[in-house]
Amino acid sequence: MASIISIHSFRGGTGKSNIAANLAYVLAQRGRRVGIIDTDVQSPGVHAIFGLRGDSFSRALNDYLLGRAPISEAVYPLGDGSRTGHEYLAGLPLFLIPSSIHASEIAQVLHEGYDVGLLNDGFYTLIDALALDVLIIDTHPGLNEETLMSIAVSDSLCVILRPDEQDYQGTAVTVDIARKLDVPGMVLVANKVPSRVSKDELSAQLEKEFTVPVAGVLYLSEDVAENGSRHVFSAVYPNHAFTRTIEALADRLTGKT
Ligand SMILES: Nc1ncnc2c1ncn2[C@@H]1O[C@H](COP(=O)(O)OP(=O)(O)O)[C@@H](O)[C@H]1O
Ligand SMILES: [Mg+2]
């Protein structure tokens, strides 16, 4: 059975899209059939990490949500090597469903709204049609109806937070709601952690505060910052501590450990 993994954070800029993309890449490299869907309609971005520009795709999740196309038309097989220019993606069983980066398309979805049930149906259609092992959902920050639905249908929820009081307070809200929605596997991932902070001490502190297991501590990295969402970092730096932590997270979220 396919598993649905939501990557969420209460605030923006925490690293959701980069973590989602790297996780997707690592799992696809292991031979899993992976879908990654950008449900951050207001501020989409995960396509960029896979080397796509806004004009490199003519269909997006927006078309499906607005009733203009079946969701299958918004699927980009990243492994076919034709469009991305990222050679390391060639041959991978990795499928992206991007959100449109065009202002008019974003505005239209925000203005007209959409039925979240449609998004939910879309997830299952994708799992079936692409015979996915894993569907990774890159969510919009904060809590809205589609985020709650995505969380509710997930087998695992990965809540990303920075060591920042604003993130802590927001994460408490998210964790509380996810508990009420009975998400089976909820984990925390701390990102952008300053190098002088001890991984073990931070994990212990977060686990005590939120009573949720910490599945990874990712340090604030000049290398990741310099990459600037232009590449899948794990593909370019396979031996980096960031990559190792993503690999451990992949094990954890897919039940390998
Ligand atoms: N561990 C890290 N160290 C340094 N920069 C990071 C790290 N993780 C993410 N970033 C940077 O932070 C920015 C926001 O990341 P992104 O994945 O787009 O977050 P979100 O999707 O939550 O808004 C990007 O410029 C990314 O390169
Ligand atoms: Mg994002």
Percent of the chain clearing pLDDT 90 (strictly above): 86
Give the number of other CB atoms < 10 A from CB of residue 173.
12
CA of 13 from ligand 1 middle (Å) equals 6
How much is the mean pLDDT over the chain?
94
Residue 202, exposed/middle/buried by CB under 10 A (0-12, 13-18, 19+)?
middle
The answer to whether the CB of 245 is under 6 A from ligand 1 is no
Report how far residue 183's alpha carbon sits from residue 177's, in angstroms, rounded to the nearest whole number: 9
The answer to whether the CB of 44 is under 6 A from ligand 1 is no
Closest CA relative to residue 122, chosen from 149, 156, 103: 149
pLDDT value at residue 145: 85
CA of 94 from ligand 2 middle (Å) equals 18
Report how far residue 76's alpha carbon sits from residue 97's, in angstroms, rounded to the nearest whole number: 6
Model confidence pLDDT, tens digit, residues 174-199: 999 999 988 889 999 999 999 999 99
The atom of ligand 1 lying closest to the CA of 193 is 1
Model confidence pLDDT, tens digit, residues 29-49: 999 999 999 999 999 999 999
Model confidence pLDDT, tens digit, residues 100-142: 999 999 999 999 988 889 999 999 999 999 999 999 999 999 9
The answer to whether the CB of 9 is under 6 A from ligand 1 is yes
CATH number of the domain enclosing 239: 3.40.50.300
Nearest ligand to residue 163 Cα: 1
Supply 240's token pair.
């980096």
pLDDT value at residue 146: 85
Question: Does the pLDDT at position 84 exceed 90?
Answer: no
Domain extent, residue 46, equals 3-253
Q: How many domains does the chain have?
A: 1
